[in-house]
């Protein structure tokens, strides 16, 4: 015996259809503790001939809020263009660069041409949060 009447089924189906059409999804926010360093647009830290061009081909400009990620994080959903929040820093940062294969669970925060600010940041353990892009 069915526990729902035909009218209840219509309501259930209608609600589910509305949720599906409106794009409502479960919150898929991920968090991870990573090592965070900082980098600058200087030849000694990047490509010697193109210090403003990322590994994905984006052009960096001082003042941008972006990060480079270790390649293992790309496989965890931190793909090109993903927005990330970083514990202790205001706003969101966009993934625009990827790091050398030797690094794991690491981000590099872009600090334009301010080498002193990058040195003052040093190396920290932080928690990052992001919402992986869906396959839609």
Please tell me the CATH code under which domain 30-130 is placed.
2.40.40.10
DSSP symbol at 64: -
Closest CA to 125 of 55, 34, 2: 34
Q: What are phi and psi of 113, to 5 degrees?
A: -100, 5
Domain ranges of the chain: 30-130
Q: pLDDT tens digit string along 66-112?
A: 999 999 999 999 999 999 999 999 999 999 999 889 999 999 999 98
Better pLDDT: 48 or 59: 59
Question: Can you tell me the distance from the alpha carbon of 74 to that of 81, in angstroms, rounded to the nearest whole number?
Answer: 11
Report the pLDDT value the prediction gives residue 3, as an integer from 0 to 100.
Answer: 65
Q: Which residues of 26-60 are buried (b: 16+ CB within 10 A; e: fewer)?
A: eeeeeebebebbbbbbeeeebeeeeeeebeeebeb
**How much is the pTM?**
0.74
Better pLDDT: 38 or 21: 38
Report the pLDDT value the prediction gives residue 135, as an integer from 0 to 100.
Answer: 43
């Amino acid at each position: 015996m069915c526990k729902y009447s035909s009218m209840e089924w219509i309501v259930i189906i209608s609600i589910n259809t509305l949720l599906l059409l409106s794009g409502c999804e479960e919150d898929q926010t991920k968090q991870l503790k990573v090592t965070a360093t900082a980098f600058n647009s200087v030849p000694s830290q990047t490509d010697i001939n193109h210090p403003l061009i990322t590994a994905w081909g984006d052009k960096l400009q001082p003042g941008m809020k972006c990060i480079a990620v270790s390649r293992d994080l790309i496989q965890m959903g931190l793909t090109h263009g993903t927005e990330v929040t970083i514990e202790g820093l205001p706003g969101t940062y966009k993934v625009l660069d990827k790091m050398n294969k030797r690094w794991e669970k690491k981000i590099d925060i872009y600090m334009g041409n301010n080498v002193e600010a990058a040195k003052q940041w040093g190396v920290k353990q932080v928690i990052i949060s992001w919402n992986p892009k869906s396959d839609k």
